[in-house]
A and B are shown apart, each in its own frame.
Chain A
Amino acid sequence: GQQLNQSPQSMFIQEGEDVSMNCTSSSIFNTWLWYKQDPGEGPVLLIALYKAGELTSNGRLTAQFGITRKDSFLNISASIPSDVGIYFCAGLRSGGGADGLTFGKGTHLIIQP
């Protein structure tokens, strides 16, 4: 089964720095979602993107749906300690309905003191 190519695998940053991560695929997706997972918890939805070229913000988070519909990126500005965790991109091929999501392998965000 296909998984999305998510990079980087891990990031070691200082508090206050900006963060950028992305996902690419050889296939087109009609919806892109970004999730955050804390240790021992389930993924929590951060941002949902529905249209090619769409740019959406949620507080310090900004995500974009690539114009080719084959990629997406997530930026976090002015990182804080609670941003630590694993960030997953997920894509949905169909325009709606109940299809399962295809996930990237995740980006581990680690904030150094």
Chain B
Amino acid sequence: NAGVTQTPKFQVLKTGQSMTLQCAQDMNHNSMYWYRQDPGMGLRLIYYSASEGTTDKGEVPNGYNVSRLNKREFSLRLESAAPSQTSVYFCASSSGRAGNEQFFGPGTRLTVL
């Protein structure tokens, strides 16, 4: 099992460019999440998907959109990147049942110039 995988590992964008971050999990988990991590901060929730076909906003959703493509895949899109979106982005998944232990991918390091 690969667990949670993310692509790309690194990305540099210019202000105004768009891009999609990809995430996939092979643990048959129902729920998937996108977090961002900024220096000196813990992780903050951007969006999550409780199950296939549903998505909900988290703490910091502005400037992002998500798509739960199928049970395995959950993508995060930046339509018009801004320097404030420079961050490390982590995808996570969980069974969605009691306890909700979340398992994280290796992250995507995004720089917006």
Contacts and interface: CB of A to CB of B under 8 A. Distances in A.
A103 B4 CA distance: 20
A100 B42 contact: no
Main secondary structure of the interface of B (DSSP, over half): loop
Chain B interface residue number, banded: 20 to 34
Interface residues of A, number: 30
A31 B44 contact: no
Interface stretch (A14-22, A39-47, A62-70, A72-80): A39-47
B58 A100 contact: yes
Contacts of B59: 1, 100
A3 interface: yes
Contact of B90 (A42, A99, A105): A42
A54 to B, nearest CB: 12
Given A103-B42, A104-B42, A98 B106 contact: no
Nearest to B34: A100
A45 B93 CA distance: 12
Interface in A62-113: 88, 90, 92, 94-101, 103-106
Interface in B28-62: 30-31, 33, 35, 40-45, 48-51, 58-60
Contact of A44 (B33, B51, B94, B104): B104
A50 B59 CA distance: 23
Nearest to A9: B40
Given A50-B99, A104-B42, A97 B50 contact: yes
Contacts of B15: none
Contacts of B100: 31, 92, 94, 96-99, 101
30 contacts: A1-B44, A1-B59, A1-B60, A3-B42, A3-B44, A31-B99, A40-B107, A42-B4, A42-B90, A42-B104, A42-B106, A43-B104, A45-B102, A48-B99, A92-B100, A95-B98, A96-B96, A96-B100, A97-B96, A97-B100, A98-B30, A98-B48, A98-B49, A98-B51, A100-B33, A101-B43, A105-B40, A105-B41, A105-B42, A106-B42
Given A1-B44, A1-B60, A96-B97, 7 more contacts: A42-B106, A98-B31, A100-B59, A105-B40, A105-B41, A105-B42, A106-B42
